[in-house]
Structure 1
Amino acid sequence: MLTNYKNLFQKTLILILLIQLLFVNVFSQDKISKDKKLFSAPEWTKNVVIYEVNVRQYTPEGTFKAFEKHLPRLKQMGIDVLWFMPIHPIGEQNRKGTLGSYYSIKDYKAINPEFGTEKDFKDLIKKIHELGMYVMLDWVGNHTSWDNVWTKTNPEFFSKNEKGEFYPPVADWSDVIDLNYDNQELRKAMIDAMKYWVKEFDVDGFRCDFAVGVPLDFWIEARKELEKIKPLFMLAEASEPYLHEAFDATYNWQLKDVMNNIPKGKMNAKDLANHILNEIKNYPVDGYRLNFTTNHDENSWSGTEFERLGNAVDAFNVFIFTTKGIPLIYSGQETGLNKRLRFFDKDTIFWNDLKYEEFFSSLIKLKKENKALWNGKYGGDIKLLKNNNDESIISFLRYTENNKVISIFNFSPENKSVNIDCEDIKGTYKNYFTGESINLTEDYTFNLKPWDYIILVKKSR
């Protein structure tokens, strides 16, 4: 009887240990992944700003050649990285709209003839590189068009239902079909296609669409192979921390949600502060986040930044340049783009009034000239500053050994007087936007108008 109890006790103990192990594996995946970053971003990413290029809508012609004329202007603004939405031929079967979705890929090794030729794209990349800028391609790894070349040559690359039919990865994505990454030959073909653009066109990185729809081990395998050619910058269109094991940067969808909810009164600056703390806890120091007030998805499907953010647009654009992460500018933001660009049809951006170009240029200059605002391990830490406990106010410090940047925001429609605890930040600072010199004492009061912001800069040698 004693032996039976002993055996039962041992079995129970083993069961408990197994349950604990399962609990750790399931619920601490993000923490484990945070410590397992396998790749380092190229050194040139240390203070970059990314610009998303919507070739179709950028000019009346919608071509590489027409876009090329804008390069000197973008360089003058201070843009570093040009991310091109997919440049491949677009599927015709089950196409949406008159021109179809960029993300319905017909051939991974070809150029959309509407944009130009291979030579046109090579010439464009060469000019971009000559200007000291970099090129990222949008890569759609999860799905293809219904008439992708592989559906004829390699139908086994695709997922199939019980009837043996192709199907979309998401019901609403009726113009595309799901790829099956259980197939090892698909993985080889996909990596080969990515390598093609690095070898033949000298691209500098990839923005990987719907990255969570592709197994992490594939992205790791692809990154290893690509790095044999040259160091690349890899951005995942997803926010999960575990993706930093393969990627340098992830989408800050969480920040986007907080920003969209503040003007609606559903959230406030306290939620922004909590977001900052959560990022520090859950993401690696050198795992960049991509910060944005708009992009092609937000603009087309959720509304322009002015629709969503209202009078807070300028403040949020300043915020994404001063908090940790890489800022993104979308095509047309320099004009104050206030229309939803059609996604499946032609809808040209007009460039006759660049009323926001100087504003964005000044933000880019702020970031580049202050090491405290650089990206990941190259930049400064972030510290939330105590104020008068007003939940519509957020104030924080970014700092390195020789550089401090203080950001104060009023995310409310009311005038506010804000007292900042300056115990750790005493000294003389320059108001970046007015040039005014400000001497911070122990308890300094700032007066902010509705949706206002103040950026203070201090450098020492």
Structure 2
Amino acid sequence: MRIKDILKILCSSLLLLNFTGCSSDDDPDMPPPADDITTDGMVIYEANPALFGETQALNGLTAQLPRIKKLEANVLWLMPIFQQGEKNAVGSPYCVKDYRAINPAYGTLSDLKALVTKAHAEGMLVILDWVANHTAWDHAWTTEHKDWYTQDANGNIVSPPGMGWDDVADLNYDNTAMRAAMQEAMLYWLTEADIDGFRCDHAEGVPNDFWKETITKLRAAKSTLLMLAEGSQTALYDAGFDMLYAWNFAYKLQDVYAGSASVANLYDTHRSELASVTDKRLLMRYSTNHDMASEKSPVQAYQTKEGAFSAFVASISMGGCPMIYSSQELAYDKALSFF
């Protein structure tokens, strides 16, 4: 399918969707919004620090905050800034060696504090990407607290079962001491760097009762906390998260541009994701993210620069909280791995 044909279909379908699917007032299947939704009016900018400098990346990001602000972003989501593991590693920032240490390639704690201070001055919140499901194999816990990890029948620590993530070790949430240590590490960043919340990686891999207890404690420390879960299970709302992913929409949107799905399929996906959501602002909307951009840049996924832009417009026209992934505003034309 040619891009101009896709654009025509999207333009006509978006008109329909704006009348039938994007307003809780006009949509009989959409529950009315809550009186006080903290996510109302938010636009998230997902920043991969590695894209802002081979060294001193946090300072490079701080320097670009005015430009990011011009994109109407008011929430800065920092992909994991922590010291990365080296044992069995594949270069992923989601392989965390120390929850309280910043990756030296990115900068220092003082650099992070300066970034947060500048972001707050720009009217922006700052949330950290938190990896609670697993750690690096050379995290100190693997030797100091082996019982904090999931083990096989022979007592060997294992990777998260069924995920193929061999670079990380699976944490055991039956262990109350480990839970307490995880909570303390999260609280550290609220008090030490004035962080405004967390995007929680693979949130569905961690028990909801942990999230509920932890978010309650975090909110006791900072009432305006923003909690974003990487997941789509609505039980995460009950655990205290403010926002989930519109998980399937972006992938189906790419299928439409590839000609393997129809706009009707896209609309069905949209309606399905709204089915259990009390307010559509509680869904994060995007046309790409760090995972998707590692496989195809938006320009590749949506055929052209114009296609990439129209796909972003389509995604944020469906209601919800828009998210921009760092680099997509530059129309980067090649896959950009975050590893």
TM interval, short-chain normalised: 0.7 to 0.9
1:376-419 deviation line (CA, Å, top 9, x unaligned): xxxxxxxxxxxxxxxxxxxxxxxxxxxxxxxxxxxxxxxxxxxx
Contact 1:56–1:62 (CA under 8 A) maintained in structure 2? no
Structure 1: gaps spanning 5 or more residues: 1-34, 345-461
- Say if 1:42 and 1:232, in contact at 8 Å, map to a contact too: no
Q: How many residues were matched structurally?
A: 303
In the alignment, is the contact (CA less than 8 A) between 2:298 and 2:328 conserved in 1?
no
For the 8 Å contact 1:145–1:175, the answer to whether it is kept is yes
Q: CA deviation at 1:67?
A: 1.8
Deviating beyond 4 angstroms after TM superposition, the runs of 4 or more aligned structure 1 residues are 39-42
Q: Percentage identity across aligned positions?
A: 39
1:241 to 209, 212, 234: 234
* Structure of higher CA gyration radius: 1
Match of 2:200 among 196, 208, 211: 208
Are 2:117 and 1:123 aligned?
no
Q: How many Å apart are 1:60 and its aligned residue?
A: 4.2
1:34-67 CA distance string (max 9 Å, x none): x9xxx99863x31011001111122343521122
1:274 aligns with 2:268: yes
TM-score by length of 1: 0.63
Separation in structure 2 between the aligned mates of residue 338 and residue 77 of structure 1, nearest angstrom: 20
**229 and 171 in structure 1: CA distance in 2 versus 1, 3 angstrom threshold:** closer
Select which of 324, 328, 334 maps to 2:323. 328
Amino acid at match of 2:230: E
Residue 153 of structure 2 aligns to a residue whose secondary structure is coil
Q: Provide the residue aligned with 2:48 in structure 1.
A: 54
Q: Tell me, yes or no, if structure 1 residue 341 matches structure 2 residue 336.
A: yes
Please report how far the alpha carbon of residue 72 of structure 1 lies from its aligned counterpart in structure 2 after TM superposition: 1.4
- 1:70 aligned partner: 64
Partner of 1:395: none
Deviation at residue 342 of structure 1 after TM alignment? 2.9
Q: Distance in 2 between matches of 1:119 and 1:87?
A: 13
Determine which of 147, 156, 181 is the counterpart of 2:147: 156
* 1:232 and 2:225 aligned: yes
Distance in structure 2 (CA, Å) of the matches to 1:63 and 1:53 = 11
The letter for the 2-side match of 1:160 is Q
- The C-alpha deviation readout for 1:99-135, integer Å capped at 9, x for no partner, is x210011111111111111111111111111111110
1:309 maps to which residue? 302
Provide closer, same or farther for how the CA distance between residues 328 and 286 of structure 1 changes in structure 2, counting only shifts above 3 A.
closer
Is contact 2:200–2:230 with CA below 8 Å preserved after alignment? yes
Aligned counterparts of 1:110 and 1:40: Cα–Cα separation in 2? 39
Query: What is the DSSP-based 3-state SS (H/G/I as helix, E as strand, rest coil) of the residue aligned with 1:108?
Result: strand
**For residues 278 and 341 of structure 1, what CA distance do their matches in structure 2 show?**
30
Maintained 8 Å contact 1:55/1:62? no
Q: Deviations over 1:124-174 (max 9, x none)?
A: 111111111110100001000001121122211100111111111145211
For 2:25, the equivalent position in structure 1 comes to none
Pick closer, same or farther for the CA change 1:287–1:160 going to 2, 3 Å.
Answer: farther
Residues 320-377 of structure 1 show CA distances to partners (whole Å, capped at 9, x for unaligned) of 2221111111111121111212333xxxxxxxxxxxxxxxxxxxxxxxxxxxxxxxxx
SS in 1 for 2:302: helix
Q: Residues 40 and 172 from structure 1, CA distance in 2 versus in 1: closer, same or farther, beyond 3 angstroms?
A: farther
Q: How far 1:261 sits from its partner (Å)? A: 1.1
1:74, 1:284 → 2: CA distance? 30
Question: What is the identity, as a one-letter code, of the residue corresponding to 2:244?
Answer: T
1:95 to 59, 67, 89: 89
| Aligned position for 1:296 | 290
> Deviation at 1:78?
1.8
TM-score normalized by the length of structure 2: 0.84
Q: Find the partner of 1:106 among 78, 81, 97.
A: 97
| Structure 1 contact 52–329 (Cα < 8 Å) conserved | yes
- Contact 1:292-1:320 at 8 Å conserved across structures: yes
Contact 1:291 1:320 in 2 (8 A): yes
Alignment partner of 1:183 is 2:159: no
What pairs up with 1:385-400 in 2 under 5 angstroms?
Answer: none
The AA in structure 1 aligned to 2:148 is F
Higher RCO structure, 1 or 2 (CA under 8 Å, sep 6+):
2
| Selected match of 2:134 from 143, 146, 154 | 143
